[in-house]
Homo-oligomer: A and B are copies of this chain.
């Protein structure tokens, strides 16, 4: 069985990535510890794990807060994703067949979820698709990096006004990239991926800036 700290971190991670704990929320050691039935020490261990994933920010002597993504974070995340996922696409020629199948499966999962109008699941499938792209590099460290980036990304997703408007346009583009990949047209796939990530980055940035304006207004 996983350790208590691990389980506590997992639970908090889920709450954060699902938006139940909004960015900027302060996570009090005493209150949370009591609520979750763990000691302060254990909770602090869990915080360390989450801080490592950049889901919370630890400010010394002040506490830990649910991470609030800034413009620089978004652009950086997308820049790194571009680097890592592109590397995966370029490595697709030498990747085992199973990895390519995982890409296709993620696309199908997304389409199925869209048919069921389950936009939360569409988001999950989308992240799985990009994780699968990175996995084409067959590098456990790249897998880890990308998993962290995508978890962080969820911080942005969770605060999106409409999951549907955000995810729907990208379903078809995922399909396009996957098809280009299975057809062996890696260069075309890489180009499509670049454009995809650029557009997605802009969309997220727009939504973020809209949010910041709304916050400043009142």
Nearest CB of B to A85, in Å: 11
0/1 interface trace, chain A 65-77, chain B, CB 8 Å (1 if under): 0000000100011
Contact digits for A142-164, partner B, Cβ 8 Å, 1 yes 0 no: 10010001000000000000000
Contact: B48 with A142, CB < 8 Å?
no
Shortest Cβ distance from A217 into chain B, in angstroms?
30
Q: Are A60 and B3 in contact, CB atoms less than 8 angstroms apart?
A: yes
Chain A binding surface, main DSSP class: helix
| Interface residues on chain A, number (Cβ under 8 Å) | 23
Q: Is A140's CB under 8 angstroms from B84's CB?
A: no
A180 to B72 CA separation, bound complex (whole angstroms): 30
A160 to B132, CA, bound (A): 36
The verdict on A87 contacting chain B, using a C-beta distance below 8 Å, is yes
Determine whether A137 belongs to the interface, using a CB cutoff of 8 Å to chain B: yes
With both chains docked as a complex, state the minimum distance between the C-beta of A120 and any C-beta of chain B, in angstroms: 26
